[in-house]
Amino acid sequence: MPNQGAVTAITAKRLTLALCAAGVVGGAVGALAVNHNNVAAETAAAAAAAPAPAASVAPAPSVAPAPAATVTLPDFTRIAATNGKAVVNIRVVGGIKTGNRADVPSLPRNHPLYEFFRQFQDPRFGGGGGREAPVFGAGSGFIVSPDGVILTNAHVVKGADEVTVKLQDRREFRAKVLGSDARTDVAVLKIDAKNLPVAPLGKSRNLAPGEWVLAIGSPYGLESTVTAGVVSATGRNLSDGQVPFIQTDVAINPGNSGGPLFNTRGEVVGINSQIYSQTGGYQGLAFSIPIDVAVKIKDQIIATGKVQHAKLGVSVQEIGQDFADSFGLESPDGALIASVERGSPAERAGLKSGDIVRRINGQPIVSSLDLSSNIALSKPGEKVALDVWRDGKLVRIDATLGDANEKGRRAPQEELASNSDNSARLGLALRPLEPIERRQSGIASGLVIEDASGAAAIAGVEPGDVLISVNGRPVNTVGQVRDVVAKASKSVALLIQRGSDKIFIPVRIG
């Protein structure tokens, strides 16, 4: 948490700026009034000295200054008073095994103190292993149906033996965990109650950076705490691409987890989940799960008691300007497929390394997260239509998604002929794979990078990497590399095998 001095200094600075602005405006108005008085006096003197006009002329009407524009702030009090009734406090009790106490000696049964220690349930004297020690936790949640269905974070109730929900009217209920999903960090609870206040749900996909938002929760156990801020960004990828997080500057602290994020219409648009902090407290970077994601998880849990996630069976990378230049794209949008699992839905559909997914079911793919989250939030068996950029043109590929719990393996590369030479324009010294290297590494084709300098070294290519393709074209001879590079104008995309990983590296050659 920031120290009080820092907060005070910032506040004082803002007040000073506000007062300075007011002073400037007042000074300008005063000067304008003095000028009007001078003009009036000079006009009167001139009129007295001049001959009377033949006809009187009406004075020009004075022009009133334009009114200042007014800015209306959202009514947070209405949201807090009305929809805040659906926000709940969650207390959790769990148990963990405790180890043997190191400060107690091991004693034989005939020792005079054996019975004393046994009465204190030390596991070495009563048998049966370690004891359960209670662990307490707390968080927030919100009611989404009048019969007691509650949304919160999965990490709030993880490992819980008892979950207690406290309502705004101070009533408390024992809650049942209907289900939770660690991938999206969403959990669904149920309490035995009726006619409860409900938090209305909005659409998180309609959020825009700069929009006002409001959080209600129980930071550090302080129930019904209201904090506000703006949406800083949407579609943030924090971990494995399962959730496109909403980033805000709303003050979120431990205990806020699972609480609602409201828009100015009083609709829930997110579940407060994580913060970025070097101190453990609020530092201006808070992240919320989009309510669109949470509702999909909730519906699956209520219907089946579990959550299924789909998979396509590819690893993807971001498209930068270098990649866009390499693949002939007008803009750096899309998800670049780095590798395809053997036997996966992607392989069955015909997807290949070097393909760039530009749309899924007609929706644009701007970043790799758009593809990953869209697939992860689909169900196994669903069909998707992919618009893929391949060899300089768009092709349509239909795929039937698999189950994310199924494991796949990478497809081997096709066997190609090999030669020896180097590619000076890239700064690479290349040689073909030896038969023993192919057997040991499992790489069927490609060129070993013996040395990297110049543009390749700057891009991050390392000696020992294996070059598999250039701009999506498989290569096994330096001649093939040279042919592709000769046709490139600004940069090329190298598919590199490094250890067990395949990655695309853009190399500028212009």
Segment 243-261 mean pLDDT: 94
Q: What is the pLDDT at residue 480?
A: 84
Q: Which residue in the block uniquely carries the two structure tokens 């913060």? A: 275
pLDDT in tens, 188-228: 999 999 999 999 999 999 899 999 999 999 999 899 999 99
Q: What is the pLDDT at residue 68?
A: 60
Phi, psi dihedral angles at 107 (to 5 degrees): -120, 145
Q: Which carries the bigger pLDDT value, residue 355 or residue 410?
A: 355
Q: Which of 122, 155, 224, 249 is catalytic?
A: 155
The verdict on whether 62 is a catalytic residue reads: no
Q: Which band of pLDDT confidence, cut at 50, 70 and 90, is reported for residue 59?
A: low
Q: Is the dihedral of CA 453, 456, 460, 466 positive or negative?
A: negative
Q: What percent of the chain has pLDDT over 70?
A: 73
Range name among 7-21, 333-347, 386-400, 469-483 with the lowest pLDDT average: 7-21
Strands 335-342 and 310-311: unpaired
Q: Which of 204, 257, 368, 423 is catalytic?
A: 257
Segment 29-44 mean pLDDT: 40
| DSSP per-residue letters across 267-312 | -EEEEEEEE--SSSS--S-EEEEEHHHHHHHHHHHHHHSS---EE-
CA nearest 141: which of 108, 163, 118?
A: 163
Q: What is the pLDDT at residue 229?
A: 95
Strands 172-174 and 245-248: unpaired
Q: Which carries the bigger pLDDT value, residue 6 or residue 472?
A: 472
Asked if residue 33 has pLDDT above 60, the reply is: no
Q: Which carries the bigger pLDDT value, residue 303 or residue 3?
A: 303
Asked if residue 283 has pLDDT above 50, the reply is: yes
Q: Which carries the bigger pLDDT value, residue 53 or residue 474?
A: 474
The verdict on whether 111 is a catalytic residue reads: no
pLDDT in tens, 426-465: 778 888 877 767 766 777 778 888 888 778 888 888 888 8
Domains of the chain: 82-101+108-123+131-190 (2.40.10.10), 204-304 (2.40.10.10), 310-410 (2.30.42.10), 421-508 (2.30.42.60)
Q: Which of 181, 185, 292, 387 is catalytic?
A: 185
Round the average pLDDT of the chain to a whole number and report it: 78
Question: What's the token pair of residue 116?
Answer: 């004393």
Q: Which band of pLDDT confidence, cut at 50, 70 and 90, is reported for residue 36?
A: very low
Q: What is the pLDDT at residue 61?
A: 57
pLDDT in tens, 62-107: 666 666 666 677 889 999 999 999 999 999 998 654 444 444 445 5
CA nearest 374: which of 386, 356, 391?
A: 386
Q: Which carries the bigger pLDDT value, residue 241 or residue 465?
A: 465
The verdict on whether 232 is a catalytic residue reads: no
Contacts of 507 (CB under 8 A, 6+ apart): 322, 426, 455, 456, 459, 461, 491, 492, 493, 494
Asked if residue 413 has pLDDT above 90, the reply is: no
CA separation for the pair 1, 507 (Å, rounded) = 43
CB 481 within 8 A of CB 475: yes
Q: What is the pLDDT at residue 239?
A: 64
